[in-house]
Structure 1
């Protein structure tokens, strides 16, 4: 369906040209043994904890514009969980016969500012740029920091995708490494079992059990998924683009894809007022896509003044072109052409600058 991206794909490298854009800122698995996976405390406590949060989530959703990500920690935490569900990893690695745990968020360097925003909010962690300057990573590896900063956030606001399974493995591995009563051999054996464990093919994050793993309308979707989470997830995974429907017709499109977790896209569909169903692509991934004008209007209204990284700039260009130039093929074609040229120039400039700095 989608032929040509305007901007906003996960791999896009468009950078909006304003006075700050081209200035590069360089500062900035209880033990899991042979038993089945043990979730947070037990299922009843887990669900009770999440339901206790529901009042807060509704409040945050209603006041998202008044209390921004920088003014309300709980909003930021939910946003961060959404962003992590999109672009985060919890890795358990054995290197040089030593185990390490890393919480990491990765972005194209054109969107490095969102990583600096996260670092500023959490006040911990580090940012590094890969050789060549194309990818930036925010990471936390210190075990004490993981325990004091990261675990409280993801325990209070569980991940909604399969990454919840990875997080629980990650946390179990931390408990093993922190257990001074275990020998190195015992730790190695236990963590190797954790690393080898895989989610089932139809795995669904336990939090969805609140609605019996079924999303049928806005109410059931909003029971689990908060607005800050969805904004964060969209910031990581959403695509805003123009698609050519005919020789003289360009329309606005929005898409989110996932390899797993169809239930997540179904909930997003209801929250954003998208009428199309979640489909399976030829590559076997799930996709939620729309070019319907009413749905695009809903998305524009929902996301207005919410995002923090370069995706917010991409969203503004996309939304303004819909409001001002919907149906104007010449105007939209020029915008698309300008974006292509800008993308090429920006990529070249960024790579040159990061090569010099690194």
Structure 2
């Protein structure tokens, strides 16, 4: 009966395939799931293990039969609580279609500056107990991965805001053995492989800094090649390095259609809006390496200002002329880019207010005073 139902559904989908756009009730999300349905039915639901979180033919058939009955035949089909992976796939499809793309690019830029992808060993002994310490002989060393962002505790609300929109990982306060209290956003292996990667692939976005690209491409290689054990990373090290070299973005960053919003997020992580003791205004961006990336930033900021490079590895972009400062204001206040968020927004508004009260900068075009004070 399952095979017959599948066959009939497949035939019906073939008939509707050319006319799906004529259904006024189909949202973008519906169309995405419809197209997925048609694709999977075309292959008779033979999916690769682990794709989209499904493990069996039965789950695929059950989920898409439910969807098509609901959307095409207007039947009310009850779902049980035994198929969390089906709900999970539905949530991912919803996020892919409805995520604010400008915000997503801003978050990616922020992660590029302040996040890191951690790859460590996670061993299991013969009892199945997980261990993070040095494994004993004979234990299995699995790949453990997570994406972590550690910020000042004052940025907890910012991380909660990101978490609210992405619905990935967990946000919490932590106190390290040394140092001040931190706010942390942590995503585990499931978040990375089954949420972050499909979301970025759908929106055609990438991390852009040298370090984050290497970390993320290693992650993709592990997923696509189904590596499980930590030793496999060393075993396939040559192939991994070739994969990273062949897929890494090295130039023309400014041509990416999300680069401006990525730069907003990167500024939130690595930028500084400075007011000097003599009341002069300055904007700075600093990071290690990434020369070509920084050169592309100067194109977006519309400045000929040269980078300051120290010890052949520390990049600093700094502007203070009135013309360059106006370009910065135009970028952050008078563009269609996503606005700054969190403590960096407060810093930016204090910076603007200082210019409002300065004779030197009074001729610059700035946001209305009420907008500045509202965001302070």
Bin for the TM-score computed over the shorter chain:
0.5 to 0.7
> Structure 1's 223 and 175: CA in aligned 2 closer, same or farther, altered over 3 A?
closer
Query: Take 1:85 and 1:221, find their aligned partners in 2: how far apart are those partners?
Result: 16
CA distances 1:232-279 after superposition (whole Å, capped 9, x unpaired):
1111111111234xxxx3311111112111111111112112331112
Is the CA contact (8 Å cut-off) linking 1:107 and 1:136 kept in structure 2?
yes
Tell whether 2:287 aligns with 1:258. yes
1:318 to 324, 329, 351: 351
Aligned to 1:157: 205
Query: Take 1:277 and 1:193, find their aligned partners in 2: how far apart are those partners?
Result: 43
Query: Take 2:143 and 2:256, find their aligned partners in 1: how far apart are those partners?
Result: 38
Give the drift of 1:282.
4.7
> Structure 1's 135 and 174: CA in aligned 2 closer, same or farther, altered over 3 A?
farther
Q: Counterpart of 1:85 in 2: which secondary structure?
A: helix
Query: Take 1:198 and 1:161, find their aligned partners in 2: how far apart are those partners?
Result: 18
Aligned to 1:289: 318
> What 5-or-longer segments of structure 2 have no aligned partner?
1-97, 123-130, 132-140, 362-376
1:88 to 112, 115, 131: 115
2:230 to 188, 198, 213: 188
Q: Counterpart of 2:279 in 1: which secondary structure?
A: strand
> Once superposed, what is the RMSD of the aligned Cα atoms?
3.1
> What 5-or-longer segments of structure 1 have no aligned partner?
1-70, 215-219, 329-358
Give the drift of 1:154.
3.2
Count of matched residue positions in the alignment of Structure 1 and Structure 2 = 236
Aligned to 1:137: 184
Q: Counterpart of 2:121 in 1: which secondary structure?
A: strand
Q: Counterpart of 2:339 in 1: which secondary structure?
A: coil
- 1:193-204 superposed matches below 5 A: 193=235
Q: Counterpart of 1:207 in 2: which secondary structure?
A: coil
Greater C-alpha radius of gyration: 2
Give the drift of 1:280.
0.5
Query: Take 1:320 and 1:242, find their aligned partners in 2: how far apart are those partners?
Result: 11
Tell whether 2:254 aligns with 1:221. yes
Query: Take 1:92 and 1:139, find their aligned partners in 2: how far apart are those partners?
Result: 13
Aligned to 1:24: none
More relative contact order in 1 or in 2 (CA 8 Å, sep 6+)? 1
Aligned to 1:147: 193
Is the CA contact (8 Å cut-off) linking 2:218 and 2:240 kept in structure 1?
no
Tell whether 2:206 aligns with 1:166. no
Q: TM-score if structure 1 supplies the norm length?
A: 0.58
